[in-house]
Every structure is written in C-alpha cells, then in structure tokens.
Structure 1
Amino acid sequence: MGWGEPKDWEPGQATGEVLVTIKEGDTGGPVSTALYEAGVTKTEDVFYDYLIDENIAVTFYPGVYRLQEKMTAEDALAALRNEENKLENSASVPEGATIEYFLPQVAETMGMPLEELQAAVKDPSVYGVEADSLEGWLFPAVYTFDPETTATQVIQRMVDRTRESLAKAGGSVRR
C-alpha cells in the first residue's frame, strides 16, 4: 500500500502531442527533466528512476522527438526509441558539389523555401568570409537541424564546420 500521490501517470492517459529536444550528450537525468518540463511525465525524476530501477542502459540520440503528454515512463522510453517519433531535418553537402547543385536538395530535405537558402548564401560577409562567394566554404557533410532552424543558421553551421576542420588541420584560408 503506497502513500501519497503516484509518481507516474496511469497507462492510457497519454494525449495530445509535444516536442521534446534531446541534446548531444544528454543522459538519463537531463532527459528525465526535459520530459517532465514538456508535460510528458508526471514528475521530474520518474523517467530516470525507471531507467535505474529496471537497470536499462540506453543511448539517447540528439534530436527533436514527437511524444504525448501524460505518458508513463515506460511508454516515453519506447517512444524515444521509435525512429518514427524523431523529427529530422537533415541536409547533405556532397564533396565537390557546387552550391547551385546542392542547395535545391537542402531546401527539399529541410522543407525550406529555396529562395531563403539562396538569399542566405548571397553575402559571404554575413558569415565573416572575405570572398566573392561561399563556394568552398560549406563543409561537405550530413547535418541534422532542429525544425525551427533558419536558412542563415543552416549556412552558418556549414561555414563554422569548415573553419573547425581548417583549425584542426592547422591551416588557414586567404582570399
């Protein structure tokens, strides 16, 4: 016989839809807090306690997940493990491809108007690049963005990735 209010929701109470963001490196504690703050779990610690009590080792992948309010800790974990609940806005910059070539693909996979991306690459100085074009400044990789990411933020991340790569290689670029 338990005393006090139950820490978890009863199964079958889940309703609506909420988005929960898992950040790079998040473990059970921060994920438990994020679930509580989004209204998914009833208490801040119930999800973390569930992982500990059931001896569940889980790797959380960064991204935005679609869950429901008033989920049990067990159901929330199942939802986080279900790839269909992960909202992914990915963009790919192929090696050797021109901006003109890959921008339409980025726009399509990101669900973003092509005109916004084209406007974002017009002025390299916005990103601290002293060149006539951003050609060669957008690092070839696959990127994942939050759903609310703007065209300028997409391009900024690609330029930043180029700078990181150059710094690791000990190089510099002059233009």
Structure 2
Amino acid sequence: MPTLSNGSSPRRQGAHFSSPVPEGQAQEEQAQQEQITQPSVEATGSLPALTGGKLSSRSAQVTHMAKNKQVKHRDKKASKRSRIFAALIAFIMVAALGIFVWKVALPELSRANSDTQEITAGQQVTVTIPDGAGAQEVAKILFENKIIATKSEFLNQVKRQDAEQKIKSGIYVITTGTKPADIVHLLISGPNAPGSGFVVPEGYTVSQVADLVQDYFGISRDDFLNQAKASNYVADYPFLAGAVDANDSLEGYLFPKTYTFTESNVTADTVIRAMLDQFETETADLNLDAARITLNKRYNLNLTNEQIIIMASIIEREALTDDDRPKVASVFYNRLYDDMYLQSDATLAYSLGREATAEELSSMTSDPYNTYAFKGLTPTPICSPGYASIKAAMDPAATNYYYFWITSDEHVFSETYDEHQQAIENAREREAASKQ
C-alpha cells in the first residue's frame, strides 16, 4: 500500500457512512423485504422449527452466523498454531546457523585472515613453489610451512623488490626465521634444493654465503670464512688487488648466481673459485677502467675499481628495482661530488648485522661504515652486487637528485631537502589515508 508524505496510510476510496434514507422510502423498502422468500436450511439442535422441519429465515441466519463464528474461531487457532510453528522453525534455523558460524565459519575465517604466527627459527624446511605461482600463493606456502611469521611482511618485500614476475618455481630449502627480504632474493635467484643448483642471491654478504654453503654442502661455516680471503686468490684473479689492500675480504666478489657442481667432493675452495670465475665472466663486457675515466670527468672523482664495486654494493642494498638503480647511483655520486655524507642506512646495517636505529645512526660516530658520520665510501663492499647494480655504479643516470624516498609503495627522488621532506610527508599522508 502506498504511503502519504507524512508516513500514514491513505484513506480508502468512497464514504465511510451511507447518506440518511427518507422515512417513506424506508417503510416501502421494509414491506418489500418482508415479501421476499428467504432460503431455507435444515434445522439442527433445539432451534425453533417451522412446519416441514424448516427454520425461519431469521433462525437460519443466526445459525449460519454461529457456524461462521465457529469456523473463524477454529481458523484463528490454526493460524496461531501455524505462526508459532513457523516461528519455532525459524528459531531453530537461526540457532543452527549461529552454531555453525561460531563453531566452523569463524575459526576458519580467523585462520584464513590470520597474518601472524610464532615460528621456531633455525629449522630447514623443503617447499615446492608451483609453476606460475603468484606472490599470494607463495606467501601462503611459506606461512603454512612456518617459514615466515607474517604473510604481509613477505608480500611487502615482494612489492619492494618488484619480484612478483621474477619468482622462480622449483624446490627450495629455506631456513625458518630467514628475513623475508632474503627469502625474496632466494626466490628470484632460483631453486636451491639438492640437485637443483647452489643459489647465491643478489645482495648476500660473505657471511650469508657461508651459511648457505654449510646448509647445502655441509662445509663448516668457519672453514669457508677462513678460506674466503682475497690474498688466497689474488694471484689467479688480479681484480682482487684492491680487496687485499682493504681488509683481505672477498666481500663484493662472490658473484650472485645459481651454480651446479659435478664434483663428488666439493670444498670451500671449489665454491669460492666458481663464484670468482663467474664474477670475471659477468664483468668481462664491463670496462671498469673506462668507467673510472668517465666518472672522473663527470664528478671529479678518482675512484679505483674496488670503489666502483663498493658503490655497486651500496646501490644493491638501497635500490628495489633495476629501474631505480641508475637514479640511486646518481644520488650518491652527486653527494660525493658536493662533499656530502652519503647517509645510507644500509652501510651501518652491514656493520651491525641488522638494521640500525635512528639513535645508532647519530651516535656511532667511530664506525667507518656509518656514512652519516664518515664522508666518502665505506672501506669495503657491503654485499655481493648483481650485474645491474655494477652497471649502474659505472654509468649513473644524469640527474640533480640528492635525496630519495623508497618504500614498498613509494619511489620518490628529490633535488632539494625541502622537496624530500615534502615527499616523505605526502607519502605518510597517503599511507594514513589508505588505513582509514
């Protein structure tokens, strides 16, 4: 039924009361009514009957009304019982649904949406990444195998490294508690399970490679680190001369790649030589000497080949995508040209073995890897850079950038400090708005 503008129901059409009937007309109609023969019904009970066992028209009318009243009474009772029964059925169905939601649906939904769990670090787990698996599916596999504590952090790292389309399928052996960033590096590099090749991800340090070697080959971590000295290999690999002069470390030169060994007795020396051979092969088409001359002309810097690798390692740890690497390189070279601090968080993180706090960045002024306190490059590379980072260090983009703000969602480069601060503020506002 349509409603009026004030919310009440509209009145029915027509008058509610009949118009008055004139007295003469009323008497005439009454006389005519008395002449009409009323329909008869069978007499029942003790009602007064007329001749022939028929009820008078008035008595029949009363009887008919009484029967109708009884039927209506029975109908009301039946209707009431139907409503009660329907309500009872509805209550039972709602109760059953509530129990199902409480006992089954909610726990399943909670488990499905749960993004955090406790894990036991240090255990090796073998997982298979299916062909064509996306980041969400990979995160689920890692989470269900208790390799990662949170899916969201892993997915953020995939986004930060632009790795969605780079994850390789296959069988992996992953240690529980490994940093999500390192897991992403591994998944980009390729399967590392026995028989699938030995994988060294981009951005790994000598210390991390030692852990991989121990896990994969069973070679003692300490034995590998003791062998990984530049002085042990400089005679065969002249490009290590600068590393010997620095701190005799092979940091930066154990090239990230997937390696296959056919020898039955693999040693630390075997692994190291394979990686140094790969470094030499990968950089054969990169003329470091020519790059030094170009960089000197552009930035008035007299760099050594070793320092170009140092720069490449910093770029490797700071940039998230290959497209960003030349621009990140330009920021650091512009700062060196203007005698500014590099202010890279990654350099002190290398020295500490973990992310540095803001307080440590400002207070650890005696650590030469703190580029907030020391100008210039670090004493050694801070990781093994990939080909793209080495190329960016040799040929940075031509920009006037001095700052960058890179997160999983933001890749902003700025020429001035004010622009940089505004970029950070804008990014935080967007992040806050996205959470509302």
TM-score (norm 2): 0.19
Q: Which has the higher helix share?
A: 2
Q: Which structure has the higher relative contact order (CA within 8 Å, separation 6+)?
A: 1
